[in-house]
A = this chain, B = another copy of it.
Amino acid sequence: MTTPHERLRELGITLPPPPPAAASYVQTRLASIGDGQSLIYVAGQISREGDKVLTGRCPDQVSVEEATRRARLCALSILSQIDAAVGLDSVFEIGQLIGFVLSAEGFGEQPKVMNGASDLLVEVLGAAGKHTRAALGTNALPFSATVEVAAVAVVSTG
């Protein structure tokens, strides 16, 4: 069985360093639920590449394809945050993703965009990466980022 880090290598993906919190909060928080497992809450991760926030509204300023790629980058930041907190090998399951796409009025392809995030989690984590999801649109996001995704997962903490 391959580990998440081996799968990242096979996919040619380098996990970015976990982005620091943009303000007065923390990126992850653990809540023990017994049997050596914990919930891990992961703060909303906005679309970015390195230090650059990827901005703009879908689909008039940013195409659906590019927004989908940006949702994938949000999921990559989520993995990076979990890896920094407890290590990717300890992910038991992703419980919930909540994802917001900066959307022009009338735009309704948020599920397609959010598949960028969902597909990455399954590619890297296998069955443990399967999750429930709410895909939503909005007229305004921090720094005008195209996508923001928060998560709750179950991890083994010993």
Contact = CB atoms under 8 A, between A and B. Distances in A.
Interface residues of A, number: 64
A58 to B, nearest CB: 9
A106 interface: yes
A115 B134 CA distance: 20
Interface of A: 21-29, 31-35, 37, 39, 41-44, 55, 93-98, 100-101, 103-112, 114-115, 118-119, 122, 130-145, 148, 150, 152, 154
A34 B35 contact: yes
B142 A139 contact: no
User: Lowest 3 A-B CB distances belong to which pairs?
Assistant: A137-B140, A44-B134, A103-B140
Contacts of A27: 132
29 contacts: A23-B112, A23-B133, A24-B122, A25-B130, A25-B133, A26-B131, A26-B132, A29-B93, A29-B130, A29-B131, A32-B33, A33-B34, A41-B132, A44-B134, A44-B136, A55-B108, A98-B150, A101-B140, A104-B140, A106-B144, A107-B140, A108-B140, A108-B143, A108-B144, A134-B150, A136-B141, A136-B148, A137-B139, A139-B140
